[in-house]
Amino acid sequence: MSEVHHGRGYVYSIQYHLVWCVTYRHHILHGDIDTYVKKLLNQIALDNDSQIIEMESDKDHIHLFIECKPQHYIPNIMKAFKGVSARLLLKAYPELKKSLWGGPLWNPSYFVATVSENTDEQIRHYIQHQKKK
């Protein structure tokens, strides 16, 4: 069950399920690259005052289950996760540019859904089992 948080003059519990793909759905998220991108995403979440509850990737896409404050705006959260991770990942692994024909790391679109107490466990289970399909 999700926690209720208290802000200055408000009480909230806000969770989102976020998914985005590698450009052209190339299978690049494995081994050290997969480990590094997850480390980056955790740091980006911390830097943006949000929390990753669950995270998993499956070769060509990433699933995050995050918790954030009411002040957060989803397009800004996605810009931070995708923009910062792409810049740092391509800097650390410049050979990825060849796999992507010199294009961007992430596809420009994404999926977002709100998560409620009723769907919390379903989303966690789904994300945890991404690589087990």
Burial classification of residue 126, based on how many CB atoms lie within 10 Å of its CB (0-12 exposed, 13-18 middle, 19 or more buried): middle
Q: Is 126 a catalytic residue?
A: yes
Q: Which two tokens stand for residue 66?
A: 């995050």
CA pair distance 95, 81, nearest whole angstrom: 21
Q: For the chain, what's the residue count?
A: 133
Active-site pick, 12, 36, 93, 126: 126
Distances in whole angstroms, Cα of residue 28 to Cα of each of 2, 12, 58, 80, 111: 33, 37, 9, 20, 20
> Which of the residues are catalytic?
126
